[in-house]
């Protein structure tokens, strides 16, 4: 078993690939009573066109999310959640653009919980009847999200930004698309992406590395595997459209400003640099934020950076009186910094503050496991991010501003009946 010490932050990570091929990461936390385990597969909503066994397969939108829902149903008629409840654990699952994850957190019986997690995810059970039933359930979920202003303004931004990349498609799909899903569709995707060699187990907290590996070897046998290769379309540098708007039941206009960036191979470095840039230029302590707030143009605003399979973007979300005015001011502030630079001392303050937040996050087993697994599947290392933040230079930020943040969009949701 490989062991890596992160002396500056007092963390130790154990990694090993089990006999079945499952990549396993254990981060023991001394003094913690809670254990959090995350079993994820490198299969998300954007993996809708792939090649396996020499054949190309295109699946309906929303299959990854649909499959996540169906994994909890057991052949004996039970539900995987029931046993977690007996063990005193909380369990859940989620699907995003890049991966699907199954998880639990508990302060007792973690070994039994881990065995159950590995077991039920290894035994899918799909029938025509339970697929049809789930179509109705997920159809209601889709309609619920269609009525969510926050969700609509977010996907409005993605639709504005991306021309061909499937990140512009809702993770749950549409009612029309999920109606095309069959049990054969689910089994095809399961066999193509849910093999241990395409998955990762991350355990954080009160756990013994050797015990974890023994449970993995016991629960998951070795089986043949031919990995599917996701096929993503060519995406132009330019955006699909610069502006979109909707009218919904909101008290004040909502907005999301997006910048379409070029994905970076060094994921850890990119996440560190862009987190500093987002806080420096758009964060609550920034000149821009305070000017907009003092003038009553925003009631709140935040910025974040996302990176995944052949996509990267900066998103600025907020609530305010005039989204178009805010958008113009954001672009103007970026231009101003490009031309005149910024305060180097402010950079150091931002870096120290972000490093403090990073260290604080290490006490949250749930968030730490999700962040570590997400970065790991993209080739990054979450536990190095704090150190990389401290290494960000003035020149790094100016380089991003000069080369990136060029292609932008604005998505807005206005109150029903408002005359802009």
- Is 199 found in the same domain as 286? no
The token pair at 184 is 């054969």
Determine phi and psi for 51, rounding to 5 degrees: -120, 130
The token pair at 253 is 């206009």
- Is 142 found in the same domain as 62? yes
Bridge partners (DSSP) of residue 243 are 410
Confidence of residue 223 (pLDDT cuts 50, 70, 90): confident
Residue 237 covered by a domain: no
Report the CATH number at residue 407.
Answer: 3.30.830.10
Bridge partners (DSSP) of residue 410 are 243, 257
Q: For a pLDDT cut of 90, what percent of the chain falls above it?
A: 91
Please write the tens of the pLDDT for every residue from 155-210: 999 999 999 999 999 999 999 999 999 999 999 999 999 999 999 999 999 999 99
Confidence of residue 275 (pLDDT cuts 50, 70, 90): very high
Describe the crossing of helices 80-87 and 110-121 by its angle, rounded to 10 degrees: 170
Question: In Å, what is the CA distance from 146 to each residue of 69, 150, 248?
Answer: 19, 10, 10
Question: Of 230, 262, 280, which marks where a domain is finished?
Answer: 230
**Which residues, in sequence order, are CB contacts of 293 under 8 Å at separation 6+?**
299, 301
CA 208 to chain centre: 27
- Is 272 found in the same domain as 169? no
CA 98 – CA 100 distance, rounded (Å)? 7
Confidence of residue 419 (pLDDT cuts 50, 70, 90): low
Closest CA to 232 of 313, 310, 140, 121: 310
What's the chain's average pLDDT? 94
Q: What is the pLDDT of residue 101?
A: 97
Q: What is the pLDDT of residue 66?
A: 95
- Is 49 found in the same domain as 115? yes
- Is 45 found in the same domain as 161? yes
- Is 204 found in the same domain as 326? no
Residue 236 covered by a domain: no
Q: Is 164 among the catalytic positions?
A: no
Please write the tens of the pLDDT for every residue from 235-255: 999 999 999 999 999 999 999
Q: What is the pLDDT of residue 417?
A: 78
Please write the tens of the pLDDT for every residue from 348-404: 999 999 999 999 999 999 999 999 999 999 999 999 999 999 999 999 999 999 998
DSSP H or E segment with residue 121: helix 110-121
Q: What is the pLDDT of residue 291?
A: 96
- Is 125 found in the same domain as 217? yes
Please write the tens of the pLDDT for every residue from 90-115: 999 999 999 999 999 999 999 999 99
Q: What is the pLDDT of residue 388?
A: 97
C-beta atoms surrounding 75 within 10 Å:
9
In the chain, how many domains are there? Answer: 2
Q: What is the pLDDT of residue 140?
A: 92
Q: Report yes or no: 80 and 68 within 8 Å, Cβ to Cβ.
A: no
- Is 275 found in the same domain as 158? no
- Is 283 found in the same domain as 222? no
Question: Of 180, 198, 230, which marks where a domain is finished?
Answer: 230
Residue 37 covered by a domain: yes
Q: What is the pLDDT of residue 111?
A: 95
CA 338 – CA 242 distance, rounded (Å)? 22
> Is the confidence at residue 71, as pLDDT, over 70?
yes
> Is the confidence at residue 119, as pLDDT, over 90?
yes
- Is 284 found in the same domain as 391? yes
- Is 146 found in the same domain as 49? yes
Q: What is the pLDDT of residue 265?
A: 86
Please write the tens of the pLDDT for every residue from 318-356: 999 999 999 999 999 999 999 999 999 999 999 999 999
Bridge partners (DSSP) of residue 13 are 4
Question: Of 200, 230, 260, which marks where a domain is finished?
Answer: 230
Question: Could you say which DSSP state residue 79 is in?
Answer: B
- Is 266 found in the same domain as 401? yes
Q: Of 11, 16, 56, 68, which residue is the catalytic one? A: 68
Domain range for 335: 243-415
Q: Report yes or no: 38 and 373 within 8 Å, Cβ to Cβ.
A: yes
Residue 420 covered by a domain: no
Bridge partners (DSSP) of residue 304 are 315
Residue 238 covered by a domain: no
**DSSP strands (E only) in 53-174:** 55-58, 90-95, 100-106
Describe the crossing of helices 63-70 and 128-146 by its angle, rounded to 10 degrees: 120
């Amino acid at each position: 078993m490989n062991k890596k010490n992160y002396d500056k932050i007092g963390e130790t990570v154990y990694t090993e690939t089990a006999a079945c091929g499952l990549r396993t990461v254990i981060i023991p936390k001394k003094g913690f009573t809670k254990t959090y385990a995350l079993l994820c597969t490198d299969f998300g909503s954007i993996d809708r066109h792939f090649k396996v066994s020499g054949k190309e397969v295109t699946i309906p939108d929303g299959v990854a999310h649909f499959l996540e829902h169906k994994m909890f149903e057991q052949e004996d008629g039970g539900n995987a959640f029931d046993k977690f409840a007996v063990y005193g654990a909380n369990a859940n699952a989620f699907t995003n653009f890049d991966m699907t994850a199954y998880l639990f957190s508990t302060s007792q019986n973690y070994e039994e919980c881990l065995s159950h997690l590995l077991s039920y995810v290894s035994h899918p059970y799909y029938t025509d009847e339970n697929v049809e039933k789930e179509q109705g359930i997920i159809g209601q979920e889709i309609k619920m999200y269609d009525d969510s202003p926050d969700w609509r303004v977010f996907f409005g931004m993605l639709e504005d930004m991306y021309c061909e990349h499937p990140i512009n498609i809702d993770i749950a799909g549409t009612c029309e698309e999920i109606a095309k899903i069959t049990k054969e569709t689910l089994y095809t995707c399961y066999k193509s992406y849910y093999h241990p060699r395409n998955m990762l187990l991350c355990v954080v907290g009160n756990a013994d590395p050797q015990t974890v590996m023994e449970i993995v070897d016991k629960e998951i046998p070795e089986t043949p595997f031919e990995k599917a290769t996701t096929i993503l379309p060519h995406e132009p540098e330019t955006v699909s459209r610069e502006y979109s708007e909707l009218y919904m039941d909101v008290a004040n206009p909502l907005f999301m400003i997006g910048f379409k960036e070029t994905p970076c191979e060094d994921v850890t470095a990119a996440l560190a640099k862009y987190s500093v840039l987002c806080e420096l230029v758009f964060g609550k302590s920034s000149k821009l934020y305070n000017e907009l707030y003092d003038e009553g143009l925003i009631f709140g605003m935040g910025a974040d950076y996302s990176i995944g399979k052949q996509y990267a973007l900066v998103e600025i979300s907020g609530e305010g009186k005039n989204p178009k005015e805010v958008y113009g001011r954001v672009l103007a502030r970026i231009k101003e910094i490009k031309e005149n630079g910024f305060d180097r001392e402010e950079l150091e303050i931002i870096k120290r503050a972000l490093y403090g937040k990073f260290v604080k996050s290490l006490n949250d087993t749930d968030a730490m496991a999700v962040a570590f697994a997400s970065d790991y599947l993209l080739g990054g290392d979450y536990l190095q991010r704090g150190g990389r933040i401290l290494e960000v230079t003035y020149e790094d930020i100016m380089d991003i501003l000069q080369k990136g943040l060029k292609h932008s969009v604005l998505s807005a949701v206005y109150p029903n009946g408002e005359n802009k």
